[in-house]
Structure 1
Amino acid sequence: MHFFIHGDLHEDIYMKKPPGYTKGQPGQVCKLLKSLYGLKQASRQWYDKFSQSLISFGFKQSKADYNIFTYITATDFTSLLVYVDDIVVASSSLTSISVLRNFLNTHFLIKDLGSLRYFLGIEVARSPTGIHLCQRKYTLDILADTGNLASKPLKIPMDQNPKLSKTSRTPLSDPTPYRQLIGRLLYLTLTRPDISYPIQVLSQYMDCPTITHLAAAHKVLRYLKNALGQGILLSAASSLQLIGYSDSDWASCPNTRKSLTGFCVFLGHSLISWRSKKQTVVSRSSTEAKYRAMASISTELTWLRQLLTDLAIPHPQSAELFCDNQAALHIASNSMFHERIKHIEVDCNLIRYKIQEGTLRTAHVTTQLQLADMFTKSLPSHLLYSHLSKMEVANIYSPSCRGVLE
């Protein structure tokens, strides 16, 4: 059971008198009768007050994510997620939710918005199949604001082997619309992993975008129109095994020759985490780039294990990590020192210790089955849709997915 509430904080806060205000004595301050949005102290005051209230009620704050609180008894489990003053509550007991609602109502002014359907631009649809997350309305707003509602849809978000660089054609006279568009599309990647790679590429040119970059961004918009309701399905029948895929594209950046890291993590069959990000250093070989990508996902898997522990979900088995480079797998599993990798930072060797302690297990996967491939390069349409199908990324508004809706 989920419900969504919105709360406001009311407590004594003081501020200095504004310039030109002469009433009162020197050194006196103004007492605010209500918290003001915009003050730099407001968010901290709200979070401190709210978190302390929850802890006094009996909630335990997660160490992996401070915005998550859990309340566990012998018979019930309640979890609470906080984002500023918007709160999502999930519980195995309606009684526990009612008790929590009454408690919060005595300390804060809250508004119960009922069952979770819309949260921070993310639409939530539930059924016996699972929970589907998408941003259809948010996508429609972007298309409307950019004048692309009537544009012709595309099958892929970016051309294969795009030739983009900082010197691509004429710079835009006003880069603000481009920056705003990329910022909005970055938020859309929360439920659209299929555009993570192109947005990662386009976000590199925020300082001086050109006509070519803007045209590439509009191609992403035309691709989004092809499936407005596409999003992630969190399967109700999924197992609780952490599975990761890591990949890299060696020296792919034309400006810095840095490699690109791409990975995705599943909880059973459900996609829960992914990333497409440029590496911070230049890798001297494709094997080194792959190894750095494996080290990056190993930290993500470690954090997810900690998060599962805070949510009272045991994960005693090793997390599985798949890579398509045999040399990188040998380096990760071999504890012997190699002169060829002596320049790699110590933190990259974290993956070795995870394998030795038994929390991580590596395995080889063929390039054709490497699901993280879509986070490092632009794929042809047939391969892109094949990977999305395996990730259970689907459009619930299509006729074949009507059963996902409540």
Structure 2
Amino acid sequence: MILPPGFQNDNKQVCRLLRSLYGLKQASRQWNAKLTMALQDISFQQSTADPSLFTKTLDTSFIALLIYVDDILVVGSDFQQISKLKQFLDKTFRIKDLGHLNYFLGLEAFRSSNGLNLCQRKYTLEILEENGFLDAKPAHTPINTGQKLTNSEGTILDQPEIYRRLVGKLLYLTNTRPGISYAVQQLSQFVDKSRDTHLVAAHRVLRYLKGSPGKGLFYPTNSRIRLQGFSDSDWVSCAETRKSVTGYCIYLGESLISWKTKKQVIVSRSSFEAEYRALSSTEKIMFSMNALSTLRLIAMLSSKRYVKE
């Protein structure tokens, strides 16, 4: 250890390091355990679907916390309860209040009287700049119609880590861009043995993003509270495994709160069977609110209809 400037060492004192948050292997785990225990002591419940989400329901109010290491996002319907929670966290851990939500983990939030808009414009521009597509010609669709990617066409990439890094960033971008979910799902199947045809298809997604880097999700203030879902399937979409692809989206009123594109586990012997499996998986999600995406649910609750600013 190096003694800090101005430290008087006339009495041969020794500094003892009790604990450190950063740099230790168990630091994150211990911090999360302590924070979880402190929140549970004041009647917060930890979500079983997402351990980083904590909720508390009172008679006339609701409050939720979303935690990422030492960054905390708080929303609720009672401003007094939020203030009490801030005081508790500041007294226990000495927090810093950054004010209203503007930027969180790459997500940009813009609030108006009409509702809340979530996008990843800065994150999208960083991806385009990193891959040299800031001046590229925009594409109208993220994938060519009828295109089927396989493991046999094309040559293996000399630097597959470039493709893997790009697909990983596109996967995170689907948090606010449901329009690229199907294309990214197709690309993510070839990260182990990526070829030049897969990289060309990934560049097509970048050119599509170039045309609308600021597009995202909008959660209106006045919306009818009605849960509804839509599902579809692409029968025998995979040319190699002959498996179908399920796609669904779930709305709460006019707010899109959950969506997914995923290959089905079992080979469907008919288009009807593929549609039935897609409908079944969508129904399970609709009747299990814990499975809804945490960030999009919190964004919906952050609209003016629910939150007293």
Same fold (TM over 0.5): yes
Kindly indicate whether the alpha-carbon contact (under 8 Å) linking 2:20 and 2:27 is maintained by their aligned counterparts in 1: no
Q: Which residue of 14, 27, 37 corresponds with 1:42?
A: 27
Correspondence for 1:263: 248
Q: Which amino acid aligns with 1:239?
A: R
Corresponding residue for 1:224? Answer: 209
Q: What residue ranges of structure 1 are gaps of 5+ in the alignment? A: 1-29, 309-406
**Is contact 2:139-2:207 (8 Å) kept?**
yes
The 5 A counterparts of 1:99-110 are: 99-110=84-95
Shift of 1:100: 1.2
Question: After superposition, where does 1:227-246 map in structure 2 within 5 Å?
Answer: 227-246=212-231
> Where do 4+ consecutive residues of structure 1 move more than 6 Å?
305-308
Please state how far the C-alpha of 1:38 moved relative to its aligned partner. Answer: 5.3
Partner amino acid for 2:241? T
Deviations 1:4-62 (A, max 9, x none): xxxxxxxxxxxxxxxxxxxxxxxxxx9752123451x3333222211111121232334
Q: Pick one of 284, 289, 292 that aligns with 1:299.
A: 284
Closer, same or farther in 2 for the Cα pair 1:306/1:219, shift >3 Å? closer
Alignment CA distance shift 1:33-1:179 (3 Å): same
Kept after mapping to 2: 8 A contact 1:133/1:233: yes
Q: In the TM superposition, what whole-angstrom CA distance separates every residue of 1:323-359 from its partner, at most 9, and x where no partner exists?
A: xxxxxxxxxxxxxxxxxxxxxxxxxxxxxxxxxxxxx
Aligned position for 1:191: 176
Contact 1:62-1:307 at 8 Å conserved across structures: no
Q: Give the structure 1 partner of residue 112 of structure 2.
A: 127
The match for 1:61 is 46
Equivalent AA in structure 2 for residue 124 of structure 1? A
Deviations 1:204-253 (A, max 9, x none): 11111111111111111010010111001112112221111111111110
Distance 1:280 1:97, change over 3 A: same
Contact 1:78–1:92 (CA<8 Å) still a contact in 2? yes
> What is the correspondence of 1:6-405 to structure 2 with a 5 Å cutoff?
32-37=18-23, 39=25, 41-304=26-289
* Secondary structure of 1:35's aligned partner: coil
Please give the alpha-carbon distance, in whole angstroms, between the structure 2 residues aligned to 1:305 and 1:172: 40
Deviation, 1:305, is 6.8
Amino acid at match of 1:60: Q
Given that 1:241 and 1:268 are in contact with CA atoms closer than 8 Å, whether structure 2 keeps it comes out as: yes
- Letter of the aligned partner of 2:22 in structure 1? L
Q: How far has the Cα of 1:71 moved from its partner?
A: 2.9
The TM-score with structure 2 as length reference comes to 0.85
Contact 1:247 1:290 in 2 (8 A): yes
Output the CA distance in 2 between the equivalents of 1:38 and 1:206.
Answer: 31
TM-aligned CA distance change 1:251 to 1:261, over 3 Å = same
Note closer, same or farther for the CA distance 1:266–1:112 as it changes in structure 2 (3 Å cut): same
Provide the aligned C-alpha RMSD in A.
Answer: 2.0
- Secondary structure of the 2:129 match is helix
Q: 2:28 aligns to what SS in structure 1?
A: helix
TM-score between both structures, scaled by the size of structure 1: 0.65
2:10 alignment counterpart: none
Identity rate of aligned residues, in percent?
Answer: 50
2:117–2:217 CA contact under 8 A, matched in 1: yes
- Paired with 1:125 and 1:88, the residues of 2 have a C-alpha distance of 15
Figure out how many residues of one structure are paired with residues of the other and give that number: 278
Secondary structure of 2:109's counterpart equals strand
Contact 1:65 1:307 (8 Å CA) reproduced = no
- Structure 1, residues 370-393: CA drift from partner, whole Å, max 9, x if none? xxxxxxxxxxxxxxxxxxxxxxxx
Q: SS of 1:112's equivalent? A: coil
Q: 1:259, 1:279 within 8 Å by CA — same for their partners in 2?
A: yes
2:102 and 2:110 in contact (8 A); partners too: yes
Q: 1:302 to 1:116 in 2, by over 3 A?
A: same
Relative to structure 1, the CA distance from residue 42 to residue 305 in structure 2 (aligned partners, 3 Å threshold; closer, same or farther) is closer
CA distance in 1, matches of 2:275, 2:23: 46
Amino acid at match of 1:35: L
**CA gap 1:38/1:168 in 2 versus in 1, 3 angstroms:** farther
Structure 2 letter corresponding to 1:198: A
Q: In structure 2, do the counterparts of structure 1 residues 307 and 168 end up closer, same or farther at CA, with 3 Å as the change threshold?
A: closer
Give the Cα separation in 1 of the matches to 2:291 and 2:199.
41
Would the aligned equivalents of 1:265 and 1:273 in 2 still touch at CA under 8 Å? yes
